C-alpha cells in the first residue's frame, strides 16, 4: 500500500479513493454494461492515455464479448488545466455501423468528450455510449451526459489509476487528489475531500 500522502513532481497529493473503493465502482459499472450489452458485441473504444487502467479492469469485470480499439485525446499536456485544444488521433478500426462504447477515465471540463463525440458521430456508428469512471460538477453542463458515471467528484485535481500529472502517477493503484489549493482558487482544498459521496460506491 502506498502512503496516504505522496509527492509527485513537486506537488503534494492525498489519497482520495482506495483501490477497494475503485473496484466497487468498477463492479457496479460492469453490472450495468452486462445488462445493457446483452446480445450486443460493442467496440470498446479506450481513450488514451488516462483510461487504460480503468478500461482493463472494466472490460475484465464486465466480461462482455467485444472488440477493443483505442483513441488518443490530449488537452492537458503538463498542466493542471485543459489547454482548451484537444488533439485527437483517430482509431484504425472503422466505427461505421458499430456499437461504440467510449471508455473515459474522467470528464472534467467536458471539452475532450465534446470533441470526441463530434469526431465519433462523423464515423456514423450504429450506437454510441460513454462510460466515465469520474465526472466533475462542471461536466453536468455537458450535453449529452455520459451514459454511465462511476462517481461524481468535487473539483479536485486527481492522479493515479491511469491519470497523470505531467505523466507522473499513472501507475498508482489508488486515486490521489492535489492537497494544495490551486493558484487563484485558495478555497479548493481539504474540505473538498469530505464532500464526495462515497455511498455511490456501496452497492
Ligand atoms: C485527461 C483525461 C480526459 C480529459 C478530461 O486527458 O484523461 O481524457 O483530460 O478533461 P476535460 O473534460 O477537461 O477535457 P489528458 O488531456 O490529460 O490526456 P491523457 O489522457 O493522455 O492524460
pLDDT in tens, the chain (203 residues): 789 999 999 999 999 999 999 999 999 999 999 999 999 999 999 999 999 999 999 999 999 999 999 999 988 877 888 878 899 999 999 999 999 999 999 999 899 999 999 999 999 999 999 999 999 987 666 667 899 999 999 999 999 999 999 999 999 999 999 997 654 443 443 334 444 555 555 43
Q: What is this structure's pTM?
A: 0.89
The predicted structure's pLDDT at residue 140: 63
What are the φ/ψ torsions at residue 26 (nearest 5 degrees)? -65, -40
Of 80, 88, 59, 72, the residue nearest 136 (C-alpha): 80
Read off the C-alpha cell for 130.
460513454
The predicted structure's pLDDT at residue 82: 80
- Whether ligand 1 lies within 6 angstroms of the CB of 75 is answered as yes
Q: Are 150 and 25 in contact (CB under 8 A)?
A: yes
| Shortest-distance atom of ligand 1 to CA 115 | 14
- Whether ligand 1 lies within 6 angstroms of the CB of 26 is answered as no
CA 159-176-171 angle, to 5 degrees, is 55
CATH architecture of 5-201: 3-Layer(aba) Sandwich (3.40)
Instruction: Single out the catalytic residue among 57, 99, 108, 174.
Output: 108
| Shortest-distance atom of ligand 1 to CA 82 | 13
- Give the helix/strand (H/E) hosting 103: strand 99-107
The predicted structure's pLDDT at residue 144: 74
Read off the C-alpha cell for 40.
450486443
* Catalytic residue flag (residue 108): yes
- The C-alpha atoms of residue 105 and residue 87 are separated, in whole angstroms, by 17
- Whether ligand 1 lies within 6 angstroms of the CB of 99 is answered as no
Rg over CA atoms, the chain? 17
Query: What residue owns the CA closest to ligand 1's atom 7?
Result: 50
Residues 6+ apart with CB under 8 A from 42: 64, 66, 67, 98, 99, 100, 101
- Whether ligand 1 lies within 6 angstroms of the CB of 109 is answered as yes
- Whether ligand 1 lies within 6 angstroms of the CB of 164 is answered as yes
| Shortest-distance atom of ligand 1 to CA 110 | 12
Amino acid at each position: 500500500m502506498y502512503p496516504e500522502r505522496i509527492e509527485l513532481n513537486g506537488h503534494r497529493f492525498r489519497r482520495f479513493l482506495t483501490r477497494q473503493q475503485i473496484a466497487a465502482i468498477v463492479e457496479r459499472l460492469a453490472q450495468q454494461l452486462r445488462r445493457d450489452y446483452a446480445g450486443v458485441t460493442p467496440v470498446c473504444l479506450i481513450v488514451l492515455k488516462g483510461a487504460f487502467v480503468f478500461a482493463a479492469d472494466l472490460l475484465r469485470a464486465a466480461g462482455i464479448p467485444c472488440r477493443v480499439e483505442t483513441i488518443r485525446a490530449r488537452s492537458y499536456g503538463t498542466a493542471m488545466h485543459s489547454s482548451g485544444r484537444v488533439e485527437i488521433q483517430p482509431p484504425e478500426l472503422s466505427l461505421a455501423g458499430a456499437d461504440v462504447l467510449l471508455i473515459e477515465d474522467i470528464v472534467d471540463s467536458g471539452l475532450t468528450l465534446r470533441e470526441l463525440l463530434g469526431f465519433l458521430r462523423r464515423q456514423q456508428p450504429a450506437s454510441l455510449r460513454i462510460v466515465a469512471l469520474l465526472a466533475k460538477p462542471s461536466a453536468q453542463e455537458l450535453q449529452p451526459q455520459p451514459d454511465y458515471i462511476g462517481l461524481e467528484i468535487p473539483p479536485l485535481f486527481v492522479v493515479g489509476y491511469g491519470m497523470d500529472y505531467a505523466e507522473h502517477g499513472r501507475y498508482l493503484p489508488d486515486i490521489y487528489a492535489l492537497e494544495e489549493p490551486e493558484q487563484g482558487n485558495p478555497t479548493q482544498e481539504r474540505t473538498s475531500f469530505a464532500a464526495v459521496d462515497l455511498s455511490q460506491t456501496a452497492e
